[in-house]
């Protein structure tokens, strides 16, 4: 019995209709909530505008020139860079160590500790910031209680009010908040490594460290790449925790580029310059994304 052939054009139309139905709503939302705001911010960046009335004061590239000369922008970007470096050097190794520990078949209570370490990430950033404000409080916080054990007479340090310690206090919160997220990524990567490879390395006489370097790390390459990407991009988008812990003040000691954009654009009603900062943040993240993807593609080839 001869089979009926389906016209190729009708098949393509059916595929297109299926894609339109499935991707259409997401594409509309993405366009309305991401693409359109980016273009609007780009338009705002060429004007001096307070958000009210028509945009008539065209400034050209003056806002961008001001951006590159702004000392607070330099300070905020430096803070973002410090956050990125600390995340890579401290947060990710801690997440990796804990992931290896809880994935060990000999480790008892792995499910409990996975949940326990992931709990900080479940908390919202605002709640986390407020919670740590109480912890750092010099009169009745946890820091005061610990300080009183060693120096009951002396006053506890004001970590959130000191320009020298503020950024480092925020960094502790960031590590505490997000290491569980990266640990979960690493756990997924560890579970994809065949157990036979680790057992074979052990039988061949490799130590735990040699097994980790020669078998575990290469098998977790994709998870590590993903984790590094999230850590760096997230460090340049950090807002909620810093804002909840004092808005980056005093004296911009904990300022990030996003908190500065919020202050300029929505608190001081300088929508034009705020749009310039937003466009520059977008370009920084975009360039890093393209550069990072090119490196990964080149290495994979």
Q: Is residue 39 part of a domain?
A: no
* H/E element, 260: helix 257-262
Least reliable range by pLDDT among 98-102, 158-162, 191-195, 201-205: 201-205
**244, 278, 249, 250: which is closest to 262 by C-alpha?**
278
For 238, counting Cβ atoms within 10 Å of its Cβ (0-12 exposed, 13-18 middle, 19+ buried), the class is buried
Residue 7 has a pLDDT of: 54
Residue 294 has a pLDDT of: 83
Instruction: Give mean pLDDT, residues 2-29.
Output: 71
- CA–CA distance, 276 with 45 (Å, rounded to integer): 4
Q: Is residue 52 part of a domain?
A: no
Whole-number average pLDDT of the chain: 87
pLDDT tens string 24-67: 888 899 899 888 988 999 999 999 988 888 888 999 899 999 99
Number of folded domains in the chain? 1
Q: Is residue 47 part of a domain?
A: no
The stretches of 31-61 forming alpha helices (DSSP H) are: 36-44
| CATH code of residue 234 | 1.10.3720.10
Q: Is residue 240 part of a domain?
A: yes
Does residue 4 register a pLDDT over 80? Answer: no
Q: How far is C-alpha 268 from the chain's CA centre? A: 26
Residue 152 has a pLDDT of: 73
* H/E element, 273: helix 271-300
Spell out the residues 6+ positions from residue 277 whose beta carbon is closer than 8 angstroms to its own.
67, 73, 257, 260, 261, 264, 265
Does residue 6 register a pLDDT over 70? Answer: no
Q: Is residue 191 part of a domain?
A: yes
Does residue 297 register a pLDDT over 80? Answer: no
Residue 1 has a pLDDT of: 47
- Domain of residue 159 covers 69-300
Q: Is residue 286 part of a domain?
A: yes
Residue 17 has a pLDDT of: 81
DSSP letter for 298, please.
Answer: H
- CA–CA distance, 206 with 200 (Å, rounded to integer): 9
Residue 9 has a pLDDT of: 52
């Amino acid at each position: 019995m001869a089979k009926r052939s389906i016209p190729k054009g009708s098949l393509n139309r059916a595929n297109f209709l299926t894609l339109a139905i499935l991707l259409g709503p997401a594409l509309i939302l993405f366009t309305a909530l991401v693409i359109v705001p980016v273009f609007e911010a780009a338009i705002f960046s060429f004007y001096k505008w307070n958000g009210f009335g028509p945009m008539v004061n065209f400034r050209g590239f003056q806002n961008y020139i001001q951006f590159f000369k702004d000392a607070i922008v330099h300070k905020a970007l430096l803070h973002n860079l410090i956050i990125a470096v600390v995340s890579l050097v401290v947060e990710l190794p801690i997440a990796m160590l804990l992931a290896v520990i809880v994935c060990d078949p000999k480790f008892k209570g792995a499910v409990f500790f996975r949940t326990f370490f992931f709990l900080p990430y479940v908390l919202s950033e605002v709640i986390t910031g407020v919670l740590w404000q109480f912890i750092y409080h010099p009169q009745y916080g946890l820091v005061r209680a610990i300080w009183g054990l060693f120096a009951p007479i002396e006053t506890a340090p004001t970590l959130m009010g000191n320009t020298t310690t503020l950024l480092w206090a925020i960094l502790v919160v960031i590590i505490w908040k997000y290491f569980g997220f990266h640990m979960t990524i690493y756990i997924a990567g560890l579970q994809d490594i065949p157990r036979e490879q680790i057992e074979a390395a052990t039988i061949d006489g490799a130590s735990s460290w040699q097994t980790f370097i020669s078998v575990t790390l290469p098998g977790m390459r994709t998870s590590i790449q993903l984790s590094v990407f999230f850590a760096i991009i997230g460090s340049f988008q950090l807002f909620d925790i810093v804002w909840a812990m004092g808005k980056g003040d005093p004296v911009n000691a904990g300022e990030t580029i996003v908190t500065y954009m919020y202050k300029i654009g929505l608190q001081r009603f300088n929508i034009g310059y705020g749009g310039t900062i937003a466009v520059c943040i977008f370009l920084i993240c975009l360039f890093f994304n393209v550069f990072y993807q090119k490196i990964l593609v080149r290495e994979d080839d």
